[in-house]
């Protein structure tokens, strides 16, 4: 079984998140995609971040009709800072029957991989699936120190979508798969801003998620 782990704040989850999960699942032949919403930041008052239990519920609502999607509460239930390397390690220990794990990540976040905890260990635990993101260029992967050298023309082909996929083997025996996905312009921050300004019927927000947000008065006050 091959599981894709899709982490994020999902603040709120929207149609682009679901499209990315579906496209990655199809391209990489994943048996399941597991969404991992982040928890509440300890000792911080982040007014733009909905409480973890609301974000969990919204993800559950968004994926309930998709049997190959699931959710893990491992980070949302934690009272301390969660690190991806610890999350992946724990999930692997709890699911010894899973033979292959991949971590799904946006290109913008992948370019900051050097700031992550125990990144070399993490690169040995699972594969990475890196998805294109608006405003980020695959050519910049050449600056990621944990990546092997990749010919610049290959990265440029991904950037201009001449090539849709590039698999890069790592010394850890894992792979990094670079995927050029069709652009999806929605962003959680723009959705939150629309909600704060009283706009409804948002095209990138599933109707049941919008109803939940309005019912629980999420994102209607405070910072965006």
User: HEC profile for 27-47?
Assistant: HHCCCEEEEEECCCCCCCCCC
What whole-number distance in Å separates Cα of residue 125 and Cα of residue 36? 17
- Calculate what percentage of the chain has a pLDDT beyond 70: 96
Say if 47 falls within a structural domain.
Answer: yes
Q: What is the model's pLDDT at position 41?
A: 77
Q: What is the model's pLDDT at position 123?
A: 95
Partners of 131 in beta bridges: 106, 179
Q: What is the model's pLDDT at position 79?
A: 85
What whole-number distance in Å separates Cα of residue 217 and Cα of residue 223? 14
Say if 135 falls within a structural domain.
Answer: yes
pTM of this prediction?
A: 0.94
Q: What is the model's pLDDT at position 184?
A: 86
Are the C-beta atoms of 120 and 146 separated by less than 8 Å? Answer: yes
Joined together, the tokens standing for residue 182 give: 């069709």
Q: What CATH number is attached to the domain comprising 124?
A: 3.40.50.620
Say if 213 falls within a structural domain.
Answer: no
| Maximum distance among all Cα pairs of the chain, rounded to whole angstroms | 51
Q: What residue numbers bound the domain in which 85 lies? A: 2-184
Q: What is the model's pLDDT at position 90?
A: 97
- Stretches where the chain sits below pLDDT 50 are 223-224
Q: What is the model's pLDDT at position 185?
A: 81
What whole-number distance in Å separates Cα of residue 31 and Cα of residue 2? 5
Structural domain count, the chain = 1
Q: What is the model's pLDDT at position 45?
A: 56
Say if 92 falls within a structural domain.
Answer: yes
Query: Per residue in 151-191, pLDDT tens?
Result: 989 999 998 889 999 999 999 999 999 999 988 888 999 99
Q: What is the model's pLDDT at position 224?
A: 46
Say if 214 falls within a structural domain.
Answer: no
Say if 199 falls within a structural domain.
Answer: no
Query: Per residue in 91-116, pLDDT tens?
Result: 999 999 999 999 999 999 999 998 99
Say if 125 falls within a structural domain.
Answer: yes
Say if 78 falls within a structural domain.
Answer: yes
């Amino acid at each position: 079984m091959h599981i894709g782990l899709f982490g994020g704040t999902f603040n709120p989850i929207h149609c682009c998140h679901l499209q990315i999960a579906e496209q990655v699942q199809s391209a990489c032949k994943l048996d399941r995609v597991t969404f991992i919403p982040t928890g509440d930041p300890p000792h911080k008052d982040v007014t733009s971040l909905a409480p973890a239990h609301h974000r969990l519920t919204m993800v559950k609502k968004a994926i309930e009709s998709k049997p190959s999607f699931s959710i893990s509460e491992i980070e949302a239930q934690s009272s301390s800072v969660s690190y991806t390397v610890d999350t992946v390690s724990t999930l692997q220990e709890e699911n010894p029957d899973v033979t292959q794990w991949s971590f799904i990540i946006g290109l913008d976040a992948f370019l900051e991989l050097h700031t992550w905890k125990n990144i070399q260990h993490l690169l040995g635990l699972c594969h990475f699936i890196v998805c294109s993101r608006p405003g980020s260029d695959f050519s910049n992967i050449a600056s990621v120190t944990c990546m092997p050298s990749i010919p610049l023309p290959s990265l440029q082909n991904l950037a201009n979508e001449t090539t849709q996929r590039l698999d890069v083997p790592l010394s850890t025996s894992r792979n990094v798969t670079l995927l050029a996905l069709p652009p999806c312009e929605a962003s959680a921050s723009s959705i939150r801003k629309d909600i704060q300004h009283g706009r409804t019927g948002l095209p990138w927000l599933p109707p049941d998620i919008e109803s939940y947000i309005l019912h629980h008065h999420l994102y209607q006050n405070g910072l965006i």
